[in-house]
A and B are shown apart, each in its own frame.
Chain A
Amino acid sequence: SAVISQKPSRDICQRGTSLTIQCQVDSQVTMMFWYRQQPGQSLTLIATANQGSEATYESGFVIDKFPISRPNLTFSTLTVSNMSPEDSSIYLCSVSGANVLTFGAGSRLTVL
């Protein structure tokens, strides 16, 4: 399965700032996804990162808050904009191969 490198692994951020999370895959993949896992909760899909076009967002998530880039088949970024304490979560990049979803290690963000 694909090897996913995600960074930063964790960060402490100030309210009102933005942070960009990077996801690098060791092979070309068609489908990349971004998930959020709030403390003690399940995984919620934020969006599908589409190569060469705008991301497809799930209900409750918008591009202004979570802009996503996907410049090629091995790389994607997720930005969490204008952060508030409610954005404190783990953000996980994932890739799909034959419907099998593999996760990056996640980025644990704490917003003060």
Chain B
Amino acid sequence: GENVEQHPSTLSVQEGDSAVIKCTYSDSASNYFPWYKQELEKRPQLIIDIRSNVGEKKDQRIAVTLNKTAKHFSLHITETQPEDSAVYFCAASSNTGKLIFGQGTTLQVKP
């Protein structure tokens, strides 16, 4: 089955700096790669996603890149703000619809 590896497990950046979180997946049939943000005591919320027919997608300060050959995708957050502090999860899915999640990255943005 699918396996998703996520790095780093923790990331601390200064406000205004960029943050990058990387994931790899094992199942070549995976074709959908979302990123979720989970704040303390709250449910995971989708922040951006990318499908396998696209190499890059951007939404304001957030971007995701996908390298299907390497089975690798990344989340990029620019101009980080304290409210970006949260746990971020990557995930992968094939046409089954079920998502397999990475281990999570705790991002701390220092003011």
Contact = CB atoms under 8 A, between A and B. Distances in A.
B99 A103 contact: no
Q: Which of B44, B45, B102, B103 is packed against the most chain A CB atoms within 10 Å? A: B44
Nearest to B49: A100
A103 B98 CA distance: 12
A22 to B, nearest CB: 16
A42 B103 contact: yes
B100 A45 contact: yes
B54 interface: no
A92 B45 CA distance: 12
Interface string B40-65: 00111110010000000000000000
12 contacts: A31-B97, A33-B98, A42-B102, A42-B103, A43-B44, A43-B89, A45-B98, A48-B97, A92-B43, A96-B98, A99-B32, A99-B93
Given A42-B89, A43-B89, 16 more contacts: A31-B98, A42-B101, A42-B104, A43-B101, A44-B101, A59-B1, A99-B93, A100-B34, A100-B49, A101-B34, A101-B91, A101-B99, A102-B46, A103-B44, A103-B45, A105-B43
Interface of B: 1, 32, 34, 42-46, 49, 89, 91, 93, 97-104
Interface of A: 31, 33, 41-45, 48, 59, 92, 96, 99-106
